[in-house]
Amino acid sequence: MANLLVVVDYQNDFVSGALGFGAAQALEGPIAARVEQALAGGWRVIFTRDTHGPDYLNTREGRFLPVSHCLRGSGGWHLYGSLAAYEASSDPRVAFVDKPTFGSAGLAGAAEALCGGEPGRIELCGVVTNICVVSNAILLHSRFLNSEIAVLQNLCAAADPADHENALRLLAGMGYLLP
């Protein structure tokens, strides 16, 4: 049973672009180090990418968050900083899930395929804690009832630190590990 690290939406638009914020920029080195450590330990890694088309502002999410971002193929859509190198990698232990909204209905299936079944442990990191990190943690738990699921609280961020802390309280209340 393989273990899985999920890096949520660590893309240019969430770090230095349309929805960027300072706390996200500070995560580059620590997330890159965790990815390297995970791969060295035999883990699998999935990077989610928030992915929108030109009609984004006409979607339910676009009406809620009316900032055009992460348009497929644009500079803002790609992974940020040193993590962008994984987009050109052919490492079979690394996969990508492009998601059209906060949580990905396809993430659990991709995790199962990459790990050869239910992962033993799933760790999540990335941005934004109170939106996409929470959404994907819940979707993974809904599919993998026996996996240990942890949200790496020091490798996640939200534009508002209070939103980050509130999301962590919510996750703790649902039994997620918060190392």
The predicted model gives 99-105 an average pLDDT of 96
The pLDDT of residue 1 is above 90: no
The predicted model gives 61-76 an average pLDDT of 95
The pLDDT of residue 16 is above 90: yes
pTM reported for the whole predicted model:
0.97
The predicted model gives 58-65 an average pLDDT of 93
Compute, in degrees rounded to 10, the torsion defined by CA atoms 36, 172, 27, 91.
30
The pLDDT of residue 41 is above 90: yes
The pLDDT of residue 178 is above 90: yes
Query: Which among 98, 88, 119, 112 is positioned nearest to 48, based on CA atoms?
Result: 98
Beta bridge partners of residue 44, listed in sequence order? 4
